Amino acid sequence: MESETGRVSGPENGLPAAEPREGAAVVEGAEMGRLYLLAINEEGFVFDPTTGESFTVNSTGLEVLKGLKERKTMEEIALRLTELFIVEKDEAERDATDFVDQLRYIKLL
User: pLDDT digit string (tens) for 78-103?
Assistant: 999 999 999 999 999 999 999 999 99
Domain that residue 50 falls in: 34-104
Domain membership flag for residue 6 = no
Domain membership flag for residue 40 = yes
Q: Which of 90, 72, 4 is nearest to 35 (CA)?
A: 72
Domain membership flag for residue 3 = no
**pLDDT for 19:** 40
CB–CB of 15/31 below 8 Å? yes
Domain membership flag for residue 44 = yes
Percent of the chain with pLDDT over 70: 71
Whole-number Å distance between alpha carbons of 109 and 104: 5
Domain membership flag for residue 43 = yes
Residues 6+ apart with CB under 8 A from 87: 81, 95
Count the domains in the chain: 1
The mean pLDDT of the chain is 80
